Amino acid sequence: MGLWARIKSVALTDVSVLVRGLDRAALDAIERVLTEADLGPAAWEISQELEARQRRGELKREADVRAWLEQRLLAYVAVPADAGELNLGDGTGPGVILLAGVNGAGKTTVAARLARRLQQAGRSVLFAAADTYRAAAGEQLAVWAERLGVPCVSGTPGGDPSAVAFDAIDAATTRNIEAVIVDTAGRLHTQDNLMDELKKLTRVVSRRRPGAPHETLLVIDGTTGQNAVQQGRVFSAALPVTGLVITKLDGTAKGGAVLAMARELRLPVRFIGVGEGLDDLKPFDGPRFVDRLLAD
């Protein structure tokens, strides 16, 4: 069942319930449903406001509650109309897109999907395989590069990721390539030394290409729930994150995690991954997402 259907099944079981007023048990049940949808602290916040509005007589019908809840959830994910437009700088050199996130979040696949979007927009792309700690990561990106027909700059195993990014910008500048997508290591957000390395990479990129990285996208596995919020806090404290990419949302009932992350981190959700294909990275559409979350 969708989120709204679950709320109705536990609290709005007959037409007169709102006239009588939601009792404590009904409000607690609504909060539990919202929590199970991975809304985190927002679940308590919403249930408290719902109680206050209902007591004031502002929500007298089921349709009133649903409309209010829809607007309440939309407030968490307000994003610009051009969420899917990638900033590539002023055109005097390659735009640099940095992808960060923990192991398994799907950064390398996101790199390929972003490259596909840029190619479809007529842009040229180059990959920087800056995850030098896992040979498999560089190999995976090289496979995508071959499939997409884009060059890929790699380093030696265990080498300096910053050097790879620097060389990639050099190569893109020489070849007049418009975008460099930097795929970084899956850094554990609890390891300060690895976060420091990411900060160093950002500084090096900025020195080589003023204004870069033009986009720093934090890739988060949408199935990890509230743990993803903590990851986001640490990464956004270390890096100038410009937006979130939420992956693996197909088939999960915990779409509330997207709203929780946007609320807690105060960062726009830019893209969501909804499938396995190259074209399954979609610009985030807040109203459509909330409408689907509240589906009957």
3-state SS class at 294: coil
Which of 17, 43, 77 is the last residue in one of the domains? 77
203 and 66 in a common domain: no
In 3D, which of 141, 242, 147, 133 has the Cα closest to residue 182? 141
264 and 117 in a common domain: yes
Q: What is the model's pLDDT at position 223?
A: 80
Residue 86 lies inside a defined structural domain of this protein: no
Please name the residues in contact with 43: beta carbons below 8 A apart, sequence gap of 6 or more.
Answer: 31, 32, 34, 35, 37, 256
Residue 114 lies inside a defined structural domain of this protein: yes
277 and 141 in a common domain: yes
110 and 49 in a common domain: no
243 and 173 in a common domain: yes
Q: What is the model's pLDDT at position 199?
A: 92
CB 70 within 8 A of CB 207: no
36 and 164 in a common domain: no
111 and 140 in a common domain: yes
Domain hosting residue 72, numbered range: 3-77
184 and 57 in a common domain: no
Query: Which pTM was predicted?
Result: 0.89
- Distances in Å between the Cα of 59 and the Cα atoms of 195, 245, 274 are 47, 35, 34
Q: What is the model's pLDDT at position 80?
A: 67
Residue 175 lies inside a defined structural domain of this protein: yes
Six token digits for residue 82: 């051009």
In 3D, which of 190, 181, 168 has the Cα closest to residue 237? 190
151 and 72 in a common domain: no
Total domains in the fold of the chain: 2
- Mean pLDDT, contiguous 10-residue spans, the chain (296 residues): 84 73 86 88 92 88 90 83 87 95 90 96 96 81 95 90 96 97 78 83 95 95 79 87 88 69 87 87 90 82
Residue 188 lies inside a defined structural domain of this protein: yes
168 and 55 in a common domain: no
Q: What is the model's pLDDT at position 252?
A: 47
120 and 10 in a common domain: no
Q: What is the model's pLDDT at position 251?
A: 52
Six token digits for residue 129: 């395989």
Please name the residues in contact with 37: beta carbons below 8 A apart, sequence gap of 6 or more.
Answer: 3, 6, 43, 253, 254, 255, 256, 293
Residue 83 lies inside a defined structural domain of this protein: no
257 and 111 in a common domain: yes
Distance CA 296, CA 3 (A): 8
Residue 87 lies inside a defined structural domain of this protein: no
The CATH number of the domain holding residue 241 is 3.40.50.300
